[in-house]
Structure 1
Amino acid sequence: MKFIPIEYVTEGASSTLNFSLITALAFAIVAIAASVLIAYMTTRPIIRLTQSMKAVEIQNFEVDIREPRSDEIGTLERRFNSMLSRIKELIQTEYKATIEKRTAQVKAMQAQINPHFLHNALQAIGGIALSRNVPEINDHVRAISDLFRYTIRMKSDLVTIADELEHARNYLQIQKLRFQSMIEIRIDADEECLGCRIPKFSLQPIVENCFFHGLEGKMDAWTISIRVEKVLDEIEIDIADNGMGIEEARLAEIRRQLSQPADGQENGEGMGISNVNARIKLLFGDEYGLFISSEWNAGTTVKLLIPAQEEGEKT
């Protein structure tokens, strides 16, 4: 039996224990430092994204995240940048639209000044004509004045057939002043149709076409007739002239254009009637609109077909 000092026995264990404690402490410090660094690297872009969102909330759009990461957070940053760019574009678009709207309103008000002035001036001229005992001049001046008043009157896109017929009548009276006895005008409308609704400026373009494309070049007497009648639950308005008519090929092309849907119609030589036809189809449906029949050297008839709707009824 041999006695060994306890210090000798525990010396190796103490050194091992001390080394283990130092190693554990070092690893703990490294782990804490690594955790703090990883947390900082992870939360920094989130904090940056949050700050950018807060800036956008107070309408500060001059923020932009540079060099987005390549991970999922980077995907969020890129989406945020894309959304911010889109918001800026929409703001610019809305701003430009507002400016254009204000400019259009100013131009519209400026455009109304001359018609109002002309309307008042024509009324004054008509008064002078009456005072000088020249009623014919007053009649023609009144027709021109009413034509201007109807043009500048702010109403909905739909008016009564009575108003539209009166507008066409004033236009024809002005044309009759030019052509005198060379032209004969006939207007016949059923009373029950006069209160029905029709798109504004529907008849005048058709009547105008009678002069420019039908009667032009015809040497003998001209005749323009307008017939309005109710057929079941529809209104038929026939506008006929005894002009030169339309050649078969041209008539087929016009019918092809008029048969297209409202958003696919082309503008060409008959842009006025194309616009009328498109407006009718948009308001009432593709089964309504303009239908043209013509015979070369015999005349042309334009049939305008709309539903019979009184004022106040929904389309």
Structure 2
Amino acid sequence: MMFRTIKRKLIFVFCVVSILFVCVSTGIFYKVFTNRLISTQQNNQNMLSQALCTSIEYFREKCETTINMLQEDEEIHSSVAQWLLFDDEETLQECLRKKVNEWDFINNILIMKISYEYVGAKELDQILPYMVDRISTAERYGQNCVWDSGYGPNSSFVFRCFNVSEAEKNLYLFIQIANANFQSLFNRYRLQNDQRFSLKGITNGFEVTEQGFYYQYYDNYSQLVHTQIDIDDWQLKTWSEKTAARIVTKEFWVEMITIFLVLILLIILLSVIISKQVTKPIKEMQKVARQYSLGAFDAKVSVHGKDEIAELGNVLNNMSSQLLELISSVTEKERQSNYLELQTLIYQINPHFLYNTLDSINMLARKNDDIQVALMVTNLSRLFRLSLNRGRDVITVREEMMQVTYYLKIQKFRFEEQLDWNINFDDEILEYRMLKFIMQPLVENAIYHGIKSKNEYGKLTIRGYKDKNMLIFVIKDTGKGMDEDTLTKLYQRINEKKRDEKENRGYGIWNVNQRIKLYYGEQYGLQIDSIVDKGTSIYIKIPAEI
């Protein structure tokens, strides 16, 4: 009940299509926008990580340069000698404290004997086991600096052998670096608050990892943006949540929903306005048609524009004028006959009326012993019935063959002895289906432009057979034929997509060829062979379909 009127259907369809379009467009835009934000987040994180690596390299070089400077420091060497010769720990400890105060990134400096005795700027007895375990590593690396994590999460150590002279042999220099220095670098290049960093040595035990990092993110790997960069024998890894980008898109989504609701209201309003404009002339024609049904044929439709609806209005107005002329021209004596003719105009969409009329003419002709008229009317009735085919566009080959047969029988009355024909279709193709009304225009063309123009006896041969997956129909006449130049021009005309309105010749062949190509495809259509004074053969090629 809701869609009884065209207006409501237009409103419904327009709203549904528009809303679907807005929904799909918004969804696609949301997805693309989210991916673009995540990609931007990844790129920004990569750029910041590269910058962080540069700062880390600089800081590492600074620390290693410092420990090498301490290795060469004369004051430290003097204090170490005092410690080794006179067991003067206080002088060495005071010297180390002084050096610690010179660099803000150093927490402690320690020098250790191979006998595990050590002196540090700060007393840290709890690190003795840690330092003892690192002596073998220092020996393995010799004069190179070694990085290792501290005995706790808040510091790291850089150490090396302290072997400058024979007296100072088997000593080891440690400097303790606060991990807060690395954290400060992390914070400087942190993209967002939930981003975490991990700096690890590839070949040693050095590691600076933000607390709780692995436990928090290990099970959420796919929802993170990852970056990994090697810095010599260190490796920097960093992760950040994708939710940061999604938070932006959620805000965008709320705005889009608001816009979406406004768009729905505008769509509904526009659909009502547009449907009203479209259906207004249709309603007017409906009103006029009702007046026609009541016999008021003087009613007219107001025509505006040049579209299909305006054309339909002109057709109704022309039909009204024709009906008025018809009614005014009849007399009271011929009322019944004229009424029948009027009904023919009004109900011309019903072919059964024409069949009944032709049957009536047939009976009248037979009653008057006019057999030729009766046969002609009978063939015309059958031809008309097959041509209409209940509105179907596709018929069987048998029906198309019968249609051509009836047409030729009608033409026989006119051309008599000048025309003869032979129709031969293979039985196996008679139940195949084909586009209707293909052969009749070509047969008509062969008669009027071939046989008739030669002004002598002519014969038509119509052949139908199957070749692989195609149906082939050949219409051959014994007319005057065409020269090569005429045939070339004909080919050009029938293969044009749009026919020249000024050119009347070849319309039937052009129409058939275009219908075949539109219905079956460009690889199908007509082929024409012609020899002057010998005749013309037209080949129809369509797919074989049951």
Q: What is the CA–CA distance in structure 2 between the aligned matches of 1:178 and 1:283, rounded to whole Å? A: 34
Contact 2:450/2:480, CA 8 A, preserved across alignment: yes
**Paired position in structure 1 for 2:463:** 227
Alpha-carbon distance, 1:230 to partner: 1.0
Q: Does 1:278 align with 2:514?
A: yes
Q: Distance in 2 between matches of 1:127 and 1:109?
A: 23
Cα deviation for residue 300 of structure 1 reads 0.5
1:114-129 paired onto structure 2 within 5 Å: 116-129=352-365
CA distance in structure 2 between the aligned counterparts of 1:217 and 1:201, rounded to whole angstroms: 24
C-alpha displacement of 1:242: 0.6
Residues 1:300 and 2:533 are matched in the alignment? no
> Within 2, Cα distance between the matches of 1:95 and 1:145?
41
**Residues 81-100 of structure 1: matches in 2 within 5 Å?**
92=277, 100=308
The aligned residue for residue 242 of structure 1 is 478
- Partners of 1:187 and 1:97 in 2: CA distance: 49
Please tell me whether the aligned partners of residues 494 and 506 of structure 2 are also in contact (alpha carbons under 8 angstroms).
no
Task: Specify which of 159, 178, 195 is matched with residue 395 of structure 2.
Answer: 159
259, 266, 270: which one aligns with 2:499: 266
Answering whether residue 407 of structure 2 is matched by residue 174 of structure 1, we say no
How many residues align? The count is 234
For 2:402 and 2:409, locate their aligned partners in 1 and report how far apart those are by CA, in whole Å. 10
Contact 1:150/1:167 (CA < 8 Å) preserved in 2? yes
Deviations 1:227-276 (A, max 9, x none): 0011122111000111111222120122234456xxx2535421111111
Q: 1:273 to 1:58 in 2, by over 3 A?
A: closer
Q: Distance in 2 between matches of 1:109 and 1:153?
A: 20
- Higher Rg: 2
User: Deviation string for 1:166-215 (max 9, x for gaps)?
Assistant: 11111111100111122101111001111112111101110111122212
Which residue number corresponds to residue 288 of structure 1? 524
Q: Is the 8 A contact 2:451 2:478 kept in 1?
A: yes
Question: Which protein has greater RCO, CA pairs closer than 8 Å, 6+ apart?
Answer: 1
Please tell me whether the aligned partners of residues 516 and 542 of structure 2 are also in contact (alpha carbons under 8 angstroms): yes
Determine the C-alpha separation between the residues in 1 that align with 2:520 and 2:359.
37
Within 2, Cα distance between the matches of 1:256 and 1:58? 50
1:192 alignment partner AA = E
2:402 is aligned with what amino acid?
Answer: E
1:147 maps to a residue whose letter is: L
Q: Distance in 2 between matches of 1:125 and 1:227?
A: 34
Conservation of the 8 A alpha-carbon contact between 2:425 and 2:465: yes
Secondary structure of the corresponding residue to residue 112 of structure 1: coil
* Counterpart secondary structure, 2:392: coil
Q: How large is the RMSD of aligned CA atoms in angstroms?
A: 3.6
1:208 matched to 2:441? The reply is no
Contact 1:168–1:203, Cα closer than 8 Å, also in 2: yes
Looking at structure 2, the residues matched to 103 and 110 of structure 1 have their Cα atoms a distance apart, in angstroms, of: 15
Percent of residue pairs identical: 32
| Cα distance in 2, alignment partners of residues 139 and 170 from structure 1 | 10
Whether contact under 8 Å (2:451, 2:479) holds in the other structure is yes
Query: Whole-Å Cα distance in 2 between the matches of residues 138 and 293 of structure 1?
Result: 38
What is the distance in 2 between the residues matched to 1:51 and 1:188? 68
TM normalised by structure 1 equals 0.63
CA drift at 1:93: 5.2
- Look up the equivalent residue of 1:300 and give its one-letter code: T
Which whole-Å CA distance do the structure 2 matches of 1:92 and 1:246 have between them? 54
The question of whether the paired residues in 1 share the 8 Å contact of 2:481 and 2:531 is answered with yes
CA contact (8 A) 1:257 1:265 kept: no
Match of 1:256 in 2: 492
- Correspondence for 1:196: 432
Matched, 1:144 2:380: yes
The unaligned stretches of length 5 or more in structure 2 are 1-258, 286-307, 320-343
When the two structures are superposed, what TM-score results if normalisation uses the length of structure 2?
A: 0.38
Cα distance, 1:125 vs. partner? 2.7
Distance across 2 between alignment mates of 1:287 and 1:91: 44
Unaligned runs of 5+ in 1: 1-48, 62-83, 311-315
**3-state SS in 2 of match to 1:168:** helix
SS at match of 2:453: coil
Of the structure 1 ranges 208-217 and 125-134, higher mean CA displacement relative to structure 2 is found in: 125-134
State the distance in 1 between where 2:370 and 2:403 align: 23
| Letter paired with 1:186 | N
Aligned twin of 1:186: 422
